C-alpha cells in the first residue's frame, strides 16, 4: 500500500514533538508524545484521521484519505513515525 507512496518525513518515536505536515496546501498536525503518535488536528472534511486512535506499534497506521496522507509506525532498533504521501 505504501510502496508507490512518496516519503514525506520520518520522526523519531522516542522524541516528543508536534509536526505540521503540509501537502498541497492541506495541513495535518501530528503529535508524538510518550512513544505514541496521534493526529491532533487536520483540515480535511471528514476528520476521520483525528478520530483515529493514537498509534504505537509497528505497522500501525493513521490514514487521512482526503489529504492523501498515511502515517505509519516503522519498527527496528529506533522506531520512527513515517509520513507518506499517497
Ligand atoms: Zn483527515
Q: Would you say residue 67 lies in a domain?
A: yes
Q: Would you say residue 27 lies in a domain?
A: yes
Q: Would you say residue 74 lies in a domain?
A: yes
Q: Would you say residue 1 lies in a domain?
A: no
pLDDT digits (tens, 9 = 90+) for 21-66: 999 899 999 999 999 999 999 999 999 999 999 999 999 999 999 9
Q: What is the strand order of the sheet 61-64 is part of? A: 6-12, 80-85, 69-74, 61-64
Tell me the CATH number at 65. Answer: 2.60.320.10
Task: Confirm whether pTM is higher than 0.95.
Answer: no
Q: Give the pLDDT confidence score for residue 79 in this predicted structure.
A: 82
CA distances (Å), 30 to each of 42, 59, 65, 82, in order?
9, 17, 15, 11
Output the CA 41–ligand 1 centroid distance in Å: 8
Q: Would you say residue 53 lies in a domain?
A: yes
Total domains in the chain come to: 1
Output the CA 62–ligand 1 centroid distance in Å: 9
Q: Would you say residue 25 lies in a domain?
A: yes
Q: Give the pLDDT confidence score for residue 2 in this predicted structure.
A: 45
Output the CA 67–ligand 1 centroid distance in Å: 6
Q: Give the domain range for residue 66.
A: 6-85
Q: Give the pLDDT confidence score for residue 4 in this predicted structure.
A: 57
Output the CA 25–ligand 1 centroid distance in Å: 13
Amino acid at each position: 500500500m505504501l510502496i508507490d507512496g512518496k516519503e514525506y518525513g520520518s520522526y523519531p518515536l522516542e522524541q516528543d514533538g508536534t509536526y505540521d505536515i503540509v501537502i498541497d496546501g492541506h495541513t495535518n498536525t501530528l503529535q508524538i508524545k510518550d512513544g505514541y503518535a496521534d493526529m491532533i488536528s487536520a483540515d480535511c472534511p471528514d476528520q476521520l484521521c483525528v478520530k483515529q486512535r493514537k498509534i504505537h506499534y509497528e505497522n500501525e497506521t493513521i490514514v487521512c484519505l482526503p489529504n492523501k496522507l498515511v502515517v505509519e509506525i516503522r519498527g527496528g532498533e529506533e522506531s520512527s513515525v513515517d509520513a507518506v504521501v499517497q
